[in-house]
Amino acid sequence: MKTEYGVLGTSIWQQNMSLLERLTINRDERDEILPKLKAYLGVDELIFLSTCNRVEFIYAAGSEAGSSRLLHKLIDFFCRDGRKLSFFPNDFYHYSGREAITHLFRTVSSLESLVVGETQITGQFKQAYQDAVACGIAGPALDDLSRQALTVAKQVKRDTKIGVGAVSMASLASDQLETIVKGGQVPTIALVGSGEMTSKVARYVREMGKADLVFVNRTEDKAEQLADKFGGRAIALCDFQAEPMPVDAIVSATAAIEPVFDGGFLARLKKYGRNVICVDLAIPRDFADVFGRDETVTLIDIHALKSRMQGNLRQKFVEAGKADEIVRRAVNRFVSDRIEVSLKPIFYDSYQESIELAREAIDDLFSNRKCKLPVEEKERVMRLVTRLVGHSAFQPARLLADRLAQSHTELNLGDAPVMRKAAL
């Protein structure tokens, strides 16, 4: 049966933040929702990748899955509770076959990131893959593809300078705080959430200068751990929402499915008469729309950070070209390996016939009295001949696979019966 690889998704490049938010599955709900989504789509394996600027569904499916219908099924699944999904057709992208493999290798290698060369995406994909395995929705096909994607990312990092001088979303967010941190006073900055992003922002701020850090989290124990690590105070999110202390900035990166800070919180915050920088690194967004309309707040979200990074790819044009070549070769190699697996059965019968002829020839040779050899020596010769025959018998499969992979012809990589029939 044919195995088809595909990627369905949307990203910040499509400019539809509400769609990005709607397709983001809360981490606490993934173990329950993702197996249902896999079954609904009718795919064999699935990986869910969600970052601050993309949501992707990476799948492996048999021919009966009908890739042309998967997007419609995905939309139906996320509209199953009666909520409408606002989008245009080009808000989604759907890659299959070679295009899907190329897109994944580029994504994991950070060539599709807002910040080209940042390394966070590689770790995020690795975690997404491990989560899919733990959840029981990924198997051998995506295991093979994922491992190769991570290998390519490692090679891009090792063999190019694309990561030199790269900045991350956390560093971009921290840059927005530089004015208040270096302004002469010691600012109070609330860091909301307990994930990797919060730790990175805390580290950047500490390197930048003095600041009174307040770590805010639903679970106060986690906030206290961050406060102990970076220095500062800890407070439970519910307490901060109910009675915020005077702050100069709030950086929020939670996994909440609804806004964490609403108009009521803004009213309580405004009583201190301060202008507050609010940096929203969450999808869905942590700050309600009212923050963007209030003159006492400077709201900076992922979309705004994206616009400040437009020059990143231009600065790394040469190194990105080198990385593209690494990806291109890796895609050809990956596709070629799978074509070779499909082609080998075609050559197997001739291999068996060649082995049988070789065995008969050796038996005839050593039946001659002048060529008597001990049994173990005869078997050693036979093993050598078998290896040579195998190499020559299957070498055409390797050469043909390489040629087909480089031709960019779309092939059903697992469809050996069809290829054998065509060859015969």
The residues annotated as belonging to the active site are 52
Other Cβ atoms less than 10 A from the Cβ of 295: the count is 6
DSSP string, 159-177: H--TTTT---HHHHHHHTT
CA pair distance 125, 45, nearest whole angstrom: 15
| Gyration radius of the chain's alpha carbons | 28
CA pair distance 168, 170, nearest whole angstrom: 5
Give the 3-state secondary structure of residue 285.
coil
Q: Quick one: tokens of 418?
A: 């069809």
CA pair distance 188, 213, nearest whole angstrom: 6
Phi/psi for 256 (5° steps) reads -65, 150
Looking at 232-374, list the stretches that DSSP marks H as alpha helix, in order from N- to C-terminal side.
237-242, 263-270, 302-307, 311-315, 317-367
Question: Would the CA dihedral through 20, 65, 408, 324 be positive or negative?
Answer: positive
Burial label, 309 (beta-carbon count in 10 A; 0-12, 13-18, 19+): middle
Give the 3-state secondary structure of residue 247.
coil
Beta bridge partners of 56: 9, 49
CA pair distance 30, 24, nearest whole angstrom: 10
Q: Quick one: tokens of 137?
A: 């929705």
